[in-house]
Structure 1
Amino acid sequence: MKIKFNYRMGLFLAFMSLVFSDSMFLKDRNLDGIVFYASLMLLCLLIGFCFIKSRRSAAKWNTVLFGLVTSIFLLIGIAVQHLPLLIKGRLIFSMVVIVLLVTAGKDLLKNLDDVRLVSYSILAGCGLSILVALITKSPMAESRVEAFGGKVISTGPLGFTGGLQYKNFFAADLLASFIGLVIYQKYRHRKSNRVDIFWIAVIVVLEILAYSKTCILLIPIFCVLLFGLPSLKSKGKYGVLGVGFFSLAGVVFIFSLYLIVRSDNYGYRVRGLTNYLSYFSHDSFRLWFGNAEMAFGNPELGYVKTVRSVVGWNGTMELALLDVLIKNGILGIIGYCLILLHWIIVLVRETFPMRLPMLSVLCIFILSACVESYVVNMHVAFGVFCYLLLAAFSKGKEFDVRSSTDLPYVPKDTI
């Protein structure tokens, strides 16, 4: 019997292997890097295949032009650094993947069935990691000291990792799956799919077990944005969009205030950023073009230990802004801002069925960047999936909401 390989099968394998590449099972055997880069290369091949087959000839040139401009800002800092060729190649490849996700990646997710497929492939990767960890008796709990509100909660196993290297990565992958399934449920089915509802409930339970405060807070925020904003439809499309961004500003303020006041860990993350800016404040080259030479020049010591040994041990390296400053510099920040600006322009420019989900995902995307580095870390499926979702929804009315199993259906409360 012949098995026909299509892009949907490849899409499932790419995301499942991307999640599993972060497992302790592969890391202990030094196979994590091979699986990680193989999954990204498969994803890039799928993106290229779908982009070439796309009939949007006029939009292709705009996509290529935007990709080239963005690439200049993201790559120039890495290109001018004196790094070993292999390390420089890896960094350049990760930036190229982000550019492809944002630009040509808009043709990869063709409809909501593909969104659901990726959600389940991420969930399958988490399940595979748990299963392998149970069989091989790999650790599935992250042991560390956690302080919250000035008090030490635990010095033992704190969060469920699902067999991955970090509980926060496991929780972020689950959050990506949650977002995809909830969007599918709201915009595809007149009646709820019991199977999807079951797995959404499982994801929530696993998020609680993982005890990632960021993801636990982002889940209700996403639900409020996705299910709360439609009630403002009477204000008109620009009014609703304005309220949406003002809501985002309010949520960011409350979110940041809560983290700063209640979590000592967030203070260490901010201190890591301020320490870096203070240490290199007089080095304009490092600020503008990044400091990848310092951070990645000693592979044996590792990225985190290398940076902290220079800027101080009283701060940590989780913030996305710090990660971009080190890898790409201020020019890299400009590149990411261009990507955000592109999505905001799409939201403001026209009304389309998936406008509200795009706004909701964008808000979660920005909020996560205020706390973690998921959006710039290709090892986490959350960032990769969010890039693809935002790129696909940015096609506007060209995004196909039809399904092979359901009648076309779009809620009336879209904005």
Structure 2
Amino acid sequence: MSRQQSPDLKTILIASGVVLTLAMGIRHGFGFWLQPISQAHGWTRETYSMALAVQNLLWGAFGPLAGIAIDRFGTHRVVIFGALCYAAGLLWMAIIDQAWLFIAGSGILLGLALACTAFGAVSGIIGRTAPLEKRSWAFGISSAASSFGQFAMMPVEQQLIHHTSWQSAFFILSAVLLLLMIPMAWQLRDPAPVASEGPQQSIRQAIREALYYRPFQLLVAGYFVCGFQVVFIGVHMPAYLKDRGIMDPNVAVSALALIGLFNIFGSYYAGKLGGLFPKRYLLSSIYLSRSIVIALFLLAPLSAYSVYIFAAAMGFLWLSTVPLTNGVVASIFGVRYLSMLSGFVFFSHQVGSFLGVWLGGYLYTLNGNYNVVWGIALMLGIFAALVNLPINEAALKREGLAHA
């Protein structure tokens, strides 16, 4: 099957941008609830960390299934379903006070919601809509939109918690999400497929081809590191700063907002450069730069200014891996099953996210500090820089099958 015509790229980028702004913006602020929820229910940090870890793991696990659903039923239907799950997950976090129910319910609902509303959900329609010469740039625009969400939504979430309550903040965000995301989802309509000549690759063939292809395996290994680093920092940074004597919560809010602000530029230029230079070299440079930034942050005297410098530098590298990773997948395999294959890659990202957020809480409870997890994040960055170097981005040659 092939597409009759491409939807309007501008409309798709605007609609997907709003969806990503909300989905990723709200999700990036979950660290602000770590301490108030833990204190209200008498939990250790490990309990809340486990809830977010399960959420991230299930987000990845549901990703390939969401991709298959998108390829079969359409992007707009899956995103609407995801918006409903997202609102339900926020309400669940507001009302449930039993630890195991909180972990299971929020993990399932929000994991499923993010699989249906975040990068993997919209990557397919963006890849199919954008012409080849603009594809990497379009992925960069979508990543920048999610970064804008982090920049814009984090102060909003912090202020909602401060001026209302942590429960009321969840209620308000769920209402806002439904009111804004569902209308935008209706714009994400794939054109009706038409029959095309020649044999076509099945879903099973596409999965087998990707999983046994060495460059895809290396890309998956590198993306694991991205998830570990960004989710550990995003969730545990506010608590880490407070532990180290920076008691003003506005420092953590400003730092996380700076990450979002600078990642708008990082994501955009990563996508733009991905159309000019080999993406594998750009990915390696990003991962190595992250390790250098983390090392300098840990070695420098801690102050509000060092936090802001770290946030700006890390922000420029934060989600700049996303347009490049999706671009590599599209370059190798085409766009026919891009949503599904991006979901498989993202599952690795979310396994890393699970370990990053959970180990942060577990090792803090065990050791009373985050030192070991910072060290792991630094070493993993070097590992990811090395495994991305040998990736072959050339389109895979298929005999007897029409190219996707």
TM-score between the two structures when normalised by the length of structure 2: 0.31
Larger relative helix fraction: 2
TM-score between the two structures when normalised by the length of structure 1: 0.31
Q: Which one has more relative contact order, counting CA pairs under 8 Å at least 6 apart?
A: 2
